[in-house]
Amino acid sequence: MLRLIGRRLLLMVPTLILASMLIFALAEVLPGDVGRSILGPYATQQQVDILNHTLGADKPLYERYAHWASGFVTGRWGDSLLLKVPVFPAVMKALGNSLLLAGFALVIIVPTSILVGVFAGLRRDSFLDRGITISTLSMTVIPEFVSGVILIWIFAVWLKWLPVQAMPPQGSPFIDRFYYLILPAIPLMFLELGYIARMARVGTVQVLGMPYIRTAVLKGLPRRRVIFGHVLRNAMVPTVTVIGSQVGWLIGGLVVIETLFVYPGIGKLMVDAAQTHDLPMLEAAVLAVAVIYMVANLIADIVVALLNPRIRMGG
């Protein structure tokens, strides 16, 4: 197990280097330049050229990458070219916000979807199973912008039960943040519930057909013990893998939710940085999400290995 963890951690290094190079190269393809982004469409070309020169944005790509990389690895993440604020605290704050939203959403999504999926799997082909499958699938296909707008209109505009923003006023106690995150977490639940629940259902159905479950039942074990001791443990393997792969998206891919609910997460930060050629901010934000994504997958693999001794033994 330790070898697995060590190998995966080591693999992160070349992955991050490659990702950072790709970001730099892809940013070149985007239209515009940082000088124009800072000074706007109505600045003269001379002004833009002067600023680009001052920022070093007119230097060759490899030179700019080397300059950025040498600073980044030594902890000098620099300042945002547009916002003139230090990159490190800005990225960490946005990442923290995204982690909180993702964590809050996962706390709701994971138990609910597993419960629903296993319940459906245990009652395969029943009216309830079909009802759960159809309803969760229907929720999954609703774009989060649509479900978000409808939810805001119902709960914030009409009923006024929940706040329309995802951030409480400054100075509010930390606990208030969870109240403000309820509304944005619901569209995420709609999206993820169907996906994870179906994985849990399929896992349950597959495990229920295994000979060792039949044996356990024939041995006369109580149903509760069969389900919790044997079915759940084995049915969770594909579900945990799916959850691990969704964490990255839940942290870095919530641009729509962050935009709609005015939430300062890292997804919106990355999009803004990409659109304005703010490379120090973009690089740091993308690499931070990449690290989280890889760590989440590693944790998922560890959990899967713990659940399934054959994987653990196989290394």
- Name the site residues for other proteins (rule: CB under 8 A): 30-33, 36-48, 50-51, 82-85, 149, 152-153, 156-157, 160, 163-165, 167, 169-170, 259-262, 264, 272, 275-276
What is d(CA 33, CA 61) in angstroms, rounded to the nearest whole number?
13
Angstrom CA distances, 88 to 77, 227, 281, stand at 6, 47, 8
| Distance of alpha carbon 71 from the chain centroid | 27
Residue 266 beta carbon to other proteins: minimum distance, rounded to whole angstroms: 13
The least distance separating other proteins from the CB of residue 269, rounded to whole angstroms, comes to 8
Closer by beta carbon to other proteins, 74 or else 170: 170
SS3 content of the chain, % helix, strand, coil (to 5): 80, 0, 20
- Which one, 128 or 255, has the nearer CB to other proteins? 255
Task: Name which of 31 and 309 has its Cβ closer to other proteins.
Answer: 31
Nearer CB in complex with other proteins: 47/133: 47
Distance of alpha carbon 272 from alpha carbon 263, whole angstroms: 13
Please, is 84 exposed, middle or buried when counting C-beta atoms within 10 Å of its C-beta (0-12, 13-18, 19+)?
Answer: exposed
Q: How far is the CB of 170 from other proteins (least distance, A)?
A: 7
**Tokens 């030594």, located at residue:** 74
Task: Pick between residue 30 and residue 73 the one whose CB is nearest to other proteins.
Answer: 30
Give the nearer residue to other proteins in terms of CB position, either 33 or 301.
Answer: 33
- Closest C-alpha among 99, 140, 90 to residue 117: 140
**Nearest distance from residue 263's CB to other proteins, in Å?**
9
The least CB distance from residue 197 to other proteins, in Å, is 29
Question: Rounded distance, CA 104 to CA 232, Å?
Answer: 23
Closer Cβ to other proteins, 34 or 106, answer by number = 34
Is the Cα dihedral 29, 32, 38, 44 positive or negative? positive
Shortest distance in whole angstroms from residue 271 CB to other proteins = 10
Listed residue (180, 196, 279) closest to 243, CA to CA:
196
- Cα dihedral 308→108→255→83 (10° resolution): -100
Q: Write down the least CB distance from residue 253 to other proteins, Å.
A: 17
